[in-house]
Amino acid sequence: MITNRPSPEDFEKQSIQYLIQSLDLIIKNSEGEEFVDMVEVEIDDYWKYHQGILNNSLTLLFLSLENYLKKEICTVSPMLLVAGEPKKWAKKNSDRKFSELFIHPFDDLLVLYTELGLGNITEQTASKLEEFRLKRNQITHGVLEEHITPEYILESFYIFMAHIWGHRQWWDQLKKHIYNEPLFGIYDTDHEKASVTTYIDFLVSYLGKSKTGEILGVDLKQRNYFCPSCHYWLNHEYEVTDSKYAVLKPNSSSSTNLYCVICDSNYTVFRKKCEEEGCKGNVIGEGYCLTCFAEQS
Ligand SMILES: [Zn+2]
Ligand SMILES: [Zn+2]
């Protein structure tokens, strides 16, 4: 028998960890961009100089994708992942650990994924995947032919999330795994839950609100409001960042329901004018104007 077989959850966790690390590499190193401003280095030159970081980010995104396919195939059976003739998998009358077996390479996983009816890959996505796979191979072989840019990685990320993971799926998975493994451990859990706002800030900065909203399954081109919960918890001790990704659902002038995509919660809001001078906001929730976040009496 083949023992210690993995579960879809094992691959999902792996896939999300790679995904987070791929984004984190660019986010963390973008912090150096402030320094770049100081010494007046063009941002393109900065990244040209830091190709190693972008190569790693691309490789991690590829690994994430590969593990996503494994996860999906594993929902049918982990044995479908194993390469080679089944009669050679295990020795007679003895057990063998799953980890000792060879797993199909990416191309074969992709065929299994589509042939098992687990997902539909359009021609456009398929050619993007092929291009991405070739770039990953060039990196692995140390012969990358052109410069990688953060825009290229983020654009690829967008295509994979929109057309392979599916709108919102990746976001739910990312939050689930981040919440299970706290980022900081020093703050409160409410703060940690709101901290994923920084990922959305980052995606919006590269992809814009239209594409970011599309992969989150929410229309961010609508007027955005502060989330009464996320914004509060993110800034109640130290100012971290605005959490302003909540939208009225339905989107009407009398709507009293506000939905935040960060905490995935709905809030009842009151439609009355903000007390703050100069603010035209009229969406009030939990004692705050959700346009300017001034406290209301
Ligand atoms: Zn929220
Ligand atoms: Zn206001």
Number of structural domains, the chain? 1
pLDDT in tens, 47-98: 888 899 999 999 999 999 999 999 999 999 999 999 999 988 877 788 899 9
Task: Please give the distance, rounded to the nearest whole angstrom, from the Cα atom of residue 247 to the centre of ligand 1.
Answer: 10
How many helices (H) does the chain have, and how many strands (E)? 11, 7
| 3-state class (DSSP) for residue 295 | strand
Task: Please give the distance, rounded to the nearest whole angstrom, from the Cα atom of residue 67 to the centre of ligand 1.
Answer: 29
Instruction: Return the pLDDT at 193.
Output: 82
Q: What are phi and psi of 256, to 5 degrees?
A: -120, 20
With respect to residue 54, please indicate whether it lies within any of the assigned structural domains: yes
Task: Please give the distance, rounded to the nearest whole angstrom, from the Cα atom of residue 291 to the centre of ligand 2.
Answer: 5
Residue ranges making up the domain that contains 120: 2-181
Share of the chain above pLDDT 70, in %: 94
Residues β-bridged to residue 97: 3
With respect to residue 168, please indicate whether it lies within any of the assigned structural domains: yes
Strands (E), the chain: 2-3, 96-97, 246-248, 257-260, 265-268, 284-285, 288-289
Whole-number mean pLDDT of the chain? 92
Ligand nearest to the CA of 279: 2
With respect to residue 79, please indicate whether it lies within any of the assigned structural domains: yes
Query: CA-CA distance, 247 to 114, in Å (whole number)?
Result: 36
Ligand nearest to the CA of 294: 2
On whether the CB atoms of residues 147 and 48 are closer than 8 A, the answer is: yes
Ligand nearest to the CA of 226: 1
With respect to residue 294, please indicate whether it lies within any of the assigned structural domains: no
Between 38 and 220, the more confident residue is 220
On whether the CB atoms of residues 249 and 257 are closer than 8 A, the answer is: yes
For residue 188, give the nearest of 239, 243, 234 by alpha carbon: 234
With respect to residue 116, please indicate whether it lies within any of the assigned structural domains: yes
- Mean per-residue pLDDT, 146-158: 95
Task: Please give the distance, rounded to the nearest whole angstrom, from the Cα atom of residue 244 to the centre of ligand 1.
Answer: 8
Query: CA-CA distance, 80 to 5, in Å (whole number)?
Result: 11
Q: How confident is the model at residue 38 (pLDDT cuts 50, 70, 90)?
A: low
With respect to residue 243, please indicate whether it lies within any of the assigned structural domains: no
Task: Please give the distance, rounded to the nearest whole angstrom, from the Cα atom of residue 88 to the centre of ligand 1.
Answer: 52
Task: Please give the distance, rounded to the nearest whole angstrom, from the Cα atom of residue 271 to the centre of ligand 2.
Answer: 12
Least confident of 40-54, 125-139, 147-161, 263-277: 40-54
Ligand nearest to the CA of 267: 1
On whether the CB atoms of residues 215 and 158 are closer than 8 A, the answer is: yes
Task: Please give the distance, rounded to the nearest whole angstrom, from the Cα atom of residue 243 to the centre of ligand 1.
Answer: 7
